[in-house]
Structure 1
Amino acid sequence: MSCVLLLIEAHSVSGQNQAVDSDPAEATVPFALPKSGPFTPSDIEIKNDQSITDWFRSAHADAAARAFSHWDGEEEINAVCATCHSGEGFRDFHGLDGTTAGSVEGPINTGGVVDCGTCHNAGLSEIKEVAFPSGLLHPVQGVEASCMTCHQGRTAGLTVSKAIGELDIDTPNPELRFINPHYATAAATWLGGYGGSGYHYDDKDYSGRFFHARPVSSCVSCHEPHTLEVAFEPCLTCHQANSPEEIRITRQSYDGSGDTNKGIRADIQANAATLMEMVKAYADDVADAPMIYDGTRYPYFFADANGDGVIDESEGRPAAYTSWTPRSLRAAYNWKLVTADPGNYAHNPPYMLELLYDSMEDLSVPLGTDMQALGVLR
């Protein structure tokens, strides 16, 4: 009865009751809900429907991808992996779910992706710095915390230095294992020598963070945050090219080809290929233990004791390469770090070229390779 009186009172003028001209049903619905049917979902306007659609079609939302489905058989994501392979794990790690920041308490269920709450959580504004594997604490603002947390890799040059310690530089050691910088290491690449992601050789200087042009100050300056696609048009303000891969940035050749009409990406790829050949040659001629690289399965480098081009097997499984020396391990690590970032030519080309050159130069000593004859530049 009280509800009826309130409705009548709401439609009175100067204390006098008057007839209600509007539809009583409309007067009692204070929410933005569709009118009673028939209606279709397409009639409901969703302000951010395009962003949701773009995200849903992106790699961040692909629940079937290996990055998110790898743990399905285990029914729980490992704590060390959950931070970047599940929105739930990311929030747990940064304490955005009320838990202690800096670790994943878990358990983190499978089936999650990089969801809306990973990048749009209000708590991101409270994260002021992100820790990198090198020990660096890098200042961040807002959504940078998401990008920097998950695209930094899991190891650093310091990890390699600790592993090789004071071991003899060219003696194979079965205790050494390949150190994987992980995947999609764009943030680590971008910070360069300042971030310490690569193995830095003694008495060498390394380029720091790649600042690029002033408007390019964050990840979302180039990457559309929902589709993850790169906006190329802004590049044309300063560069003449048909694609980001064709941008040169320098007038000298770094790969010994002398061709400065191609993009800097081609120089990085060529030098990476040369380094891989030198790593293999070192395994053959110096370590006396041939290797085979297979990028489709971990740990990527496998034994080929008789050099027949076929991966050896141990207990019915591919035999991992176990004849690393400190010299070959650090070179292979730098090679993997460079090639783990498909956008290295845009994120920090100087740093990539420096790591490749120094690794080649180091291997050239026991191999007797003439670096000047190779024509490569640092």
Structure 2
Amino acid sequence: MVVSAGLALLVAGGAVLAQTTSDTATEAEGDAVVPFALPKSGPFAPSEINIENDQAITDWFRSAHANAAAEAFSHWDDEGAINAACATCHSGEGFRDFHGLDGTEAGVVDGTIDVGGVVDCGTCHNAGLAEISEVTFPSGLVHPVQGVEASCLTCHQGRSAGVDVKEAIADLPTDETNPELRFINPHYATAAATWLGGYGAAGYHYDGQDYSGRFFHARPVASCNSCHEPHTLEVEFEPCLTCHQANSPEDIRIARQSYDGSGDTSVGIRSDIMANADTLLEMIEAYTNDVAGAPVIYDGTRYPYFFADANGDAAIDMADGKPVAYNSWTPRSLRAAFNWKLVTADPGNYAHNPQYSLELLYDTIEDLSAPLGIDMEELDLLR
């Protein structure tokens, strides 16, 4: 009886132990992170698998933010890691590191950021974004943000501002070449910098001039996501038709006057901005040739974009098989090139802040007109 009782107790205990272990395993399975959306049993067809937010994921996967093969994300592949200065915006991991969303110190990328990352879901869908209340711009401006605005304004603000140009050319003779000067690149896709206008001070501001501030569109269009579908990144044009009669965003125009001297107000304001940008680039080239005595050639496909043409043969100078970067900048040409690049670096400048873009172009053209002997009245431009 004692043995039987002992066996019974042992069996009972074993049963309890087995049940407890089974329950624990079940709970562990329930808490486990499942890396793929798979049904519990098959056979099955992929189309039958229900994936939450599948359309949003599909849209994102086809967007520029997810294109891992693009230069914006593959530039560092041979190096094996992304430079800390670039990682904030060229990797979701770097973005979270910079803002301290991964538990590290905010305001700096202090870890090694591996290549292969993109602007992933966690860049914009992170609960920690609610804790980010401000973003600092290259000009030194500290701008308040809410939620996902932090992602957009962090990565579309550019890398430099007019204050950097002012510092570089301070106290230097305006029209004398200086081999120590180097092109200052505002960077790319600078939508946030354009949007904040003179308030954000992204451009080189000429003394004595006032600049339009942040562009306030009629409500409810008040944020990046008001116009851009957040996953495809495409502009949702249909809401524009509520107020604008146009065939595309590029065709929208409110101004009744011509800014580029053409007198044509039947085209979108983008046309005026691009025409003045073309005029400015031509004047930069004329200035480097006629005033500085050192012709420059612009090539937008390779950094640093402005290259030397010492013999004036319209071909970029080469040394050791590499193009020679332009190193005959004067303070006047350097600030002109910076403003031109800033305006043209934002393909949506006509929507983000057309007035600020036109002001920067006009003032820069006017600055170059004097040494070139060009009459601004004959150009018939408007600021």
Q: Scaled by the length of structure 2, what TM-score is found? A: 0.90
Cα-to-partner distance string for 1:206-240 (whole Å, 9 max, x where unaligned): 00000111111110000000000000011111110
Amino acid at match of 1:246: D
Change (3 A) 1:30 1:371: closer
SS in 1 for 2:113: coil
Paired residue for 1:303, among 305, 308, 319? 308
Provide structure 1 residue ranges, at least 5 long, that are not aligned to the other structure. Answer: 7-28
SS in 2 for 1:39: coil
SS in 1 for 2:152: helix
Partners in 2 of 1:247 and 1:30 — Cα distance?
Answer: 54
Find out whether 1:168 has 2:173 as its counterpart.
yes
Partners in 2 of 1:212 and 1:30 — Cα distance?
Answer: 48
Partners in 2 of 1:141 and 1:210 — Cα distance?
Answer: 17
Provide structure 2 residue ranges, at least 5 long, that are not aligned to the other structure. Answer: 1-14, 21-28, 32-36
SS in 2 for 1:73: coil
1:356 alignment partner in structure 2: 361
Partners in 2 of 1:125 and 1:372 — Cα distance?
Answer: 51
Cα-to-partner distance string for 1:315-354 (whole Å, 9 max, x where unaligned): 3311111110000100110000000000000000000000
Find out whether 1:45 has 2:40 as its counterpart.
no
2:183 alignment partner in structure 1: 178
Find out whether 1:110 has 2:115 as its counterpart.
yes
Partners in 2 of 1:125 and 1:94 — Cα distance?
Answer: 11
Instruction: Report how far residue 364 of structure 1 moved.
Output: 0.5
Partners in 2 of 1:155 and 1:142 — Cα distance?
Answer: 24
Paired residue for 1:291, among 281, 292, 296? 296
Find out whether 1:277 has 2:282 as its counterpart.
yes
Paired residue for 1:235, among 224, 232, 240? 240
2:11 alignment partner in structure 1: none
2:256 alignment partner in structure 1: 251
Change (3 A) 1:47 1:305: same
Find out whether 1:80 has 2:85 as its counterpart.
yes
Partners in 1 of 2:55 and 2:346 — Cα distance?
Answer: 28
Farther-moved stretch of structure 1 (69-78 vs 311-320): 311-320
Find out whether 1:99 has 2:104 as its counterpart.
yes
SS in 1 for 2:135: strand
Change (3 A) 1:30 1:154: closer
Partners in 2 of 1:334 and 1:63 — Cα distance?
Answer: 30
Amino acid at match of 1:226: H
Cα-to-partner distance string for 1:5-54 (whole Å, 9 max, x where unaligned): 99xxxxxxxxxxxxxxxxxxxxxx98998453222333221220000000
Amino acid at match of 2:46: P
Partners in 2 of 1:33 and 1:170 — Cα distance?
Answer: 68
SS in 2 for 1:215: coil
Partners in 2 of 1:196 and 1:228 — Cα distance?
Answer: 26
Change (3 A) 1:42 1:278: same
Paired residue for 1:216, among 208, 213, 221? 221
SS in 1 for 2:212: coil
Change (3 A) 1:344 1:33: closer
Paired residue for 1:337, among 335, 342, 366? 342
Instruction: Report how far residue 249 of structure 1 moved.
Output: 1.6
Amino acid at match of 2:75: H
Partners in 1 of 2:259 and 2:167 — Cα distance?
Answer: 31
Amino acid at match of 1:181: P
> Structure 2 matches for 1:14-29, cutoff 5 A?
none
Name the count of aligned residue pairs: 356
Partners in 1 of 2:165 and 2:83 — Cα distance?
Answer: 24
Cα-to-partner distance string for 1:99-129 (whole Å, 9 max, x where unaligned): 0000001200000000000000110000000
1:207 alignment partner in structure 2: 212
Partners in 1 of 2:39 and 2:184 — Cα distance?
Answer: 57
SS in 2 for 1:322: coil
Partners in 1 of 2:376 and 2:39 — Cα distance?
Answer: 73
Instruction: Report how far residue 4 of structure 1 moved.
Output: 9.7
Partners in 2 of 1:33 and 1:305 — Cα distance?
Answer: 64
Amino acid at match of 2:172: L
Paired residue for 1:265, among 257, 265, 270? 270
Amino acid at match of 1:114: V
